[in-house]
Amino acid sequence: MNEIHNVSCVHETQFMTKRFKRRPRITAAPLGRNLCYATGRKNSIIRPTIKSLSANNRSNKSEKSDFKVVCYYTNWSQYRPKTGKFVPEDIDPFLCTHILFAFGWIKKGKLSPFENTDDSKQGKKGLYERIVDLKKKNPQLKVLLAVGGWSFGTEKFKEGSSSRYTRQTFVFSAIDYLRQRNFDGLDLDWEYPKGDDDKKNFVALLKDLREAFEAEAKETKRPRLLLSAAVPAGAETIRGGYDVPSVSSLLDFIDVMTYDFHGKWESTTGHNSPLYAPSSDSTWRKQLSMDFAANMWVRLGAPREKLIIGMGTYGRSFTLANPKRNGVNAPATGGGKAGVYTREAGFLAYYEICEMLKKGATYVWDEEMKSPYAYDGDEWVGFDDERSIMEKM
């Protein structure tokens, strides 16, 4: 079924929401990728479908305290050109229950800033203080510091978790660092533990962090620092690097990265974050879906109520080998053209996709995947919109 329509846009943010009935449900988003109208107005952040859905889902008291909308704010979004620039003041403080600032750094085994603009200096507010200031408008908001990420690599986590001494060095630096900057917790984004040693050491690191957070809270009479982690969606990576029951018992919530399932590294088109895999996929590729990943974590021992299922508010794009073959699993020669604002081949923020649709790209709703894609000539992109978010909720 083909259709073209206008949708409210997400500036490269990321949601993570949570609701469970028969199967795991949630949403995720990085906020350096932010929510805006298709007009491109930088500051017109909207309360998207996920916001109204969360309100509907919290109709009783038991659900209200448990429902989470977790959003990542990426510090590199401050460098987007022109209207693509996104800073903490552009965030609606009531959109999310938790904001994760991505990313902090580790230097000499201790937490440290990643950018020179992170910490406040000489009377000028840094990004840390500016994003934590959102709690002045919404006192219920929790702001955590995320450390790691894909480009961070694995060595610092391997070294920092390898012994009691290195773990304690990191743990106690983390408590001081987070408290001094008024963060509410820590999100670990180790991509990814691999093998028996990493699996064991990751649990040990989480255990030391959790115990230290609890002891510090008891001693200071302050709310305990929260502890979460971003984890993979791939079955082999999960089994190879995670003691799921132990990890789950130590974390307050678990951010499952159910996006980037397909991209320019492949020779055929595929959706960034399908709810279900299409029937045309191979047996192995059928594992690359939100539904499969969420249920994999549950089968391996993760409590449903702790899972936060991720949705990137961006799309993965391709260049079609033949513009006449423009469906899912169509031959591709590489990533699509870089967006004006995101400036990365094979990647488009949702607001850039909105512009693509406004200029006449064909919108296709895929009933099997419960997700849309669009194409224009040899350009192809798979993404999420309000309709697919509703399906995933």
18, containing H or E segment? strand 14-20
| Nearest Cα residue to 5 out of 385, 390, 323 | 385
Among candidate residues 12, 191, 216, 352, the one labeled active-site is 191
Which stretches within the chain are classed as H helix? 49-57, 61-64, 127-132, 134-137, 155-161, 164-180, 195-220, 235-241, 244-250, 290-299, 350-358, 386-392
The span from the CA of 238 to the CA of 243, in Å, is 8
- For the chain, what percentages of helix, strand and coil (3-state, to nearest 5) are there? 35, 25, 40
Give the Å distances, CA to CA, from 27 to 24, 96, 141, 310, 358: 10, 11, 17, 5, 26
Q: Is the backbone peptide bond immediately before 192 cis, with ω within 30 degrees of 0?
A: yes
Judge whether 191 counts as a catalytic residue: yes
The span from the CA of 371 to the CA of 290, in Å, is 11
Which stretches within 92-163 are classed as H helix? 127-132, 134-137, 155-161
Helix axes 164-180, 195-220, angle to 10 degrees: 40
User: Which residue in this structure is represented by tokens 């309709």?
Assistant: 387
The span from the CA of 170 to the CA of 154, in Å, is 15
The DSSP call for residue 2 is B
The span from the CA of 312 to the CA of 364, in Å, is 19
| Nearest Cα residue to 156 out of 220, 106, 86, 221 | 106
> Catalytic positions, please?
191
